[in-house]
Amino acid sequence: MTVRTEVLLLFLGMALVTYLPRMLPIVVLSRFRLPPLVLRWLEFIPAAVLSALLAQGLLLDGGQLSLPPGNPALLAALPAFAVAIWTRSLMGTVLAGIAAMALLRAFA
């Protein structure tokens, strides 16, 4: 098996582009003591990013706002959201969302 130089360089470049944005903040910020307010603010970033991605995926279809009844994904998200709040179980939330979407597709 031969390895082409271009492909190897491409993979190395992709690894570098993936790795650097993750490591640079850790390396740079590890030298400073961040104020508690900044640390508290940083704790909200994962939830904010996930909410933005989820809202876009649930509310938009082809760049247009898509509300029920034409949006089964949004309808399936409602029971999944309820299970997430009630149980705080990732597995239960995923299973509820899958079951709700399957039922909506089967009976729609």
**Local confidence pLDDT in tens for the 108 residues of the chain:** 777 899 999 999 999 999 999 999 889 888 889 899 999 999 999 999 999 999 998 888 888 888 878 788 888 999 999 999 999 999 999 999 999 999 999 987
Helix-strand-coil percent breakdown of the chain, rounded to 5?
Answer: 75, 5, 20
Apex 66 CA angle, 65 and 70, nearest 5 = 165
- For the chain, the structural domain boundaries read 1-32, 34-107
